[in-house]
Amino acid sequence: MPQEAPIPRFGHKPQVAFFDFACCEGCQLSVLQLEEKLLEILGHVDVVTWREAMTETSSEYDIAFCEGSITTEEDIERIRAIRKQAEVLVTLGSCASGGCHNELKNQWSMDEVLGVVYGDDAGGISTIPSRPISAVVDVDYQTFGCPVSLPEFVTVVSCMLTGQHYEPPNQPVCVECKLNDYVCVYEKGEVCLGPVTRCGCNAICTSFGHACQGCRGLMDSANLPAMLKALTREEAHSIMRMVVERHSLTEDEIAAKLRIYNNWPELRMEEAQPDDD
Amino acid sequence: MAAELLMTPYAMDRFMGRLIAEGPVMGPRDRRVQPGFVKFEWLSSADELVLEYTTTTIPPKKAFFPPRQPLFEFELSEPPTITAVQEATPFTLVGVHPCDLAGLSMLDDAYAREPAEACWPAARARARVIGVDCLPDEYCFCFAMNTCNSREGADLFLTPIARGYLVEVLTEAGEEMLRLSDVEDAEDEDRSQAQAFRRDKGNRLSASIDASPEEFAEILETQELGELWREIAGRCYSCGSCNTTCPTCFCFDINDEFDLGLTGGQRVRTWDSCQLQEFALVAGGHNFRRIRWQRVRHRWHRKFLYLYRTFGRPYCTGCGRCSRACTADINIVDVSNEVIARARGRV
Ligand code: SF4
Ligand code: SF4
Ligand code: SF4
Ligand code: SF4
Ligand code: SF4
């Protein structure tokens, strides 16, 4: 049985609200899939606003889970108001915490983007380059993944409720992939973004034999120039030679693969890394 | 010379079946989802065992030192309680290649050094080990590392021959195990086939390090070679796969994980890697090897200099797992030989 004692940090059973910004709302849906674990969490908190799961709403809450990217001036006002009310703000998933697909539009001018999407009806609609919530307000806890990695969500919830700090892992997916003893997809001749992607999903894609698409975003010191070299190197040994020959990727193609989840700030393949000399 | 016996494939199958009936057995097994890639796993029947395989991603040290291991459970009650997670069941580890036998023995020495580690020897004491000989691929260089005929720590050792396996009985525990099997006396022809197998293996091993362990250690000790380490680091992801696949790596990290009840949890230790950026980060925020090339160099120093000096042999078995696993194609033999060539070119 979950314990019913008040959470020391809040002095009472904290009230929780879920909010969404520009996104597919897949992260909220994922959280609902936690099922039994979700029930355990609900033993510690009261959910007062959650559009995807209930009809009631409330303007009083202690903890805000925010999903989605900031893409309009109104979004900025709205997230500032949420920040003011919430004692704890948790960003949910890659749209809210990192780059994700929304930031793909940042490659073009906002006028061009409006023209492509709305054509002649674009008048009166305004949009700004997409950015994660952490680019606008202070965030207490971040979770990554598209959709949000559930192991990380559970860890963040337990850290938050026990008043502990949570530092997103700054290691690549390869670490979790290897600790689980999965087969590296490179050994099957495929390209995986695991070596530059922040872990925390427990390498769920490679567990099924699929390449990591990088949905959790780049880790802090991702060595992108190394990826260019690895995927274009001619004098490789057998495993990597098979990969290089099979795909013969160009620099632009490699960048395009990475940009799908990593265009905030704008992706730069040649960027020097904080731990490089 | 240890006793040598013959086990036919049929007898092997029955032997494994009986071992599995008697207690847990870990051995190389094909993957259900991704066939063709063998891994060490607990076996549920004898037909799962794959005795002829090239290598595995994760070495068999995982039988004694799991990648993720709960150490104890805690409850924040009044007073708080701690319950150690202790395994006591004896088990058998089957299908260990010679290089990996050497790797296990290196970890025996490393963990025994004061301050000694307690979990490893306790797990080792629970297990019997059956080795098996193998044929190398292009990444293997066990001949160069003097591990290709290792029998260290094995109770039984198998060499594939035409009639099945030539069984070397190396310890009393091995002899004891054979009570479960139907072995026959080996004939001269069986023995000469086993020798031929080892010769063939030696002939196929082409990769080698161009200096003696002592000379290599001296080079690493005396030559800066910063430019070379920077070149390698420019290609390195710092992904740690060269450590997490290595049979001689012993580093771990320890974390507390709360249950969702929020009143207790587990202390868990997980494999760590010196190639990861935060490996040498200490309280106060100082990182002893913040720069990537320092970490790359450290891997070579650790294997071929520090531990060579401490334990008298390079802490590399020549299994080639790090090179196979490296998605940046940083090959341990190539880099070692480049180090040697540049150092020699300088003096
Ligand atoms: S991170 Fe992915 S799943 Fe979550 S809201 Fe954004 S697009 Fe949807
Ligand atoms: S499959 Fe991907 S994540 Fe796993 S080890 Fe290989 S490159 Fe890394
Ligand atoms: S393996 Fe990669 S794509 Fe898959 S969930 Fe993890 S970070 Fe996302
Ligand atoms: S496996 Fe390769 S890329 Fe990864 S840390 Fe080791 S040398 Fe660097
Ligand atoms: S350093 Fe590489 S070749 Fe040597 S034992 Fe470790 S994984 Fe095997």
- Write down the pLDDT at residue B347: 59
Nearest 5°: CA angle at A183, between A180 and A187? 150
Which of A41, A159, A240 lies closest to B327 in CB terms?
A240
What is the torsional sign of CA B210, B214, B219, B220? positive
B107 pLDDT band (50/70/90 cuts)? very high
Per residue in A33-71, pLDDT (tens digit) is 999 999 999 999 999 999 888 899 889 999 999 999 999
CA distance B194 to B186: 11
Which residues from A are below 8 Å from B257, CB to CB? 155
Interval between CA A64 and ligand 1 midpoint (Å): 17
Q: How many CA atoms lie within 13 A of A56 on its CB side?
A: 8
Per residue in B131-178, pLDDT (tens digit) is 999 999 999 999 999 999 999 999 999 999 999 999 999 999 999 999
Domain borders along chain B are 3-204, 213-346
Residues 6 or more apart in contact with residue A174 via CB below 8 angstroms: A184, A194, A195, A199, B237, B239, B240, B241, B244, B327
Structure tokens at A255: 């960048």
Provide, rounded to the nearest whole percent, the portion of chain B with pLDDT above 70.
99
Task: Judge whether B25 and B70 are in contact, CB under 8 Å.
Answer: no
What phi, psi does B197 have (nearest 5°)? -60, -45
The β-bridge relationship of strands B91-96 and B127-132 is parallel
Positions of E strands within chain A: 15-20, 46-49, 63-67, 88-92, 141-142
Instruction: Catalogue all structural domains in chain A, each as residue range(s) with its CATH number.
Output: 15-161 (3.40.50.700), 173-259 (no CATH)
Predicted confidence (pLDDT) at residue B321 exceeds the cutoff of 50: yes
Contact B240 A230 (CB under 8 A): no
Instruction: Count how many pairs of residues, chain A against chain B, have C-beta atoms within 8 Å.
Output: 142
Q: Whose CA is nearest to atom 5 of ligand 4?
A: B238
- B67 in contact with A, Cβ within 8 Å: yes
Which of A240, A242, A270 would you mutate first to test chain B, the one with the most B CBs within 10 A? A240
Average pLDDT estimate for B194-222: 96
- Nearest chain B CA: its distance from A108 CA (Å): 30
Q: Return the residue of A nearest to B278 by Cα.
A: A170
Q: Taking all residues of chain A, what is their mean pLDDT, rounded to a whole number?
A: 93
* Bond into A147 cis (ω within 30): yes
- B315 in contact with A, Cβ within 8 Å: no
- Write down the pLDDT at residue B253: 96
Predicted confidence (pLDDT) at residue A3 exceeds the cutoff of 50: no
Q: Whose CA is nearest to atom 2 of ligand 3?
A: A212
CA distance B14 to B11: 5
Residues with CB under 6 A from ligand 4: B 236-242, 275, 325-326, 328, 330
- Write down the pLDDT at residue B329: 97
Name the amino acid, one letter, at A12. H
Q: Return the residue of B nearest to A39 by Cα.
A: B260
Locate all alpha helices (DSSP H) within A162-216, ordered by sequence: 173-179, 204-207
* Bond into A129 cis (ω within 30): no
Predicted confidence (pLDDT) at residue A119 exceeds the cutoff of 80: yes
Name the amino acid, one letter, at B286. H
What is the torsional sign of CA A133, A137, A138, A139? negative
Which residues from B are below 8 Å from A179, CB to CB? 67-68, 244, 270-271
Task: Judge whether B19 and B180 are in contact, CB under 8 Å.
Answer: yes
Residues 6 or more apart in contact with residue B342 via CB below 8 angstroms: B223, B225, B228
Task: Judge whether B266 and B74 are in contact, CB under 8 Å.
Answer: yes
Q: Which residue is listed with tokens 């009985």?
A: B169
- B244 in contact with A, Cβ within 8 Å: yes
The SS3 call for residue A218 is strand
- Write down the pLDDT at residue B235: 96
Instruction: Provide the terminal-to-terminal Cα distance of chain B, rounded to the nearest Å.
Output: 45
Q: Which residue is listed with tokens 């919430």?
A: A86
Which residues from A are below 8 Å from B271, CB to CB? 179
The SS3 call for residue A197 is strand
Q: Whose CA is nearest to atom 1 of ligand 5?
A: B316
Record the pTM. Answer: 0.96
For residue A70, what is the DSSP state? B
Structure tokens at B320: 């080639």
Q: Is the CB of A225 under 6 A from ligand 1?
A: no
What is the dihedral angle through the alpha carbons of A115, A116, A118, A124, rounded to the nearest 10 degrees?
A: -30
A5 pLDDT band (50/70/90 cuts)? low
Q: Is the CB of A26 under 6 A from ligand 1?
A: yes
For residue A9, what is the DSSP state? T
Provide, rounded to the nearest whole percent, the portion of chain B with pLDDT above 90.
95
Contact A226 B237 (CB under 8 A): yes
Locate all alpha helices (DSSP H) within B117-274, ordered by sequence: 119-125, 172-177, 188-204, 213-222, 226-235, 241-244
- B276 in contact with A, Cβ within 8 Å: yes
Contact A276 B292 (CB under 8 A): yes
- Write down the pLDDT at residue A6: 56
Predicted confidence (pLDDT) at residue A164 exceeds the cutoff of 60: yes
Which residues from B are below 8 Å from A171, CB to CB? 240, 276-278
- Write down the pLDDT at residue A277: 62
- Write down the pLDDT at residue A99: 81
Q: Give, for A260, the enclosing helix (H) or strand (E).
A: none
Which residues from B are below 8 Å from A188, CB to CB? 34
- Write down the pLDDT at residue A1: 34
CA distance A9 to B168: 64
Per residue in A192-241, pLDDT (tens digit) is 999 999 999 999 999 999 999 999 999 999 999 999 999 999 899 999 99
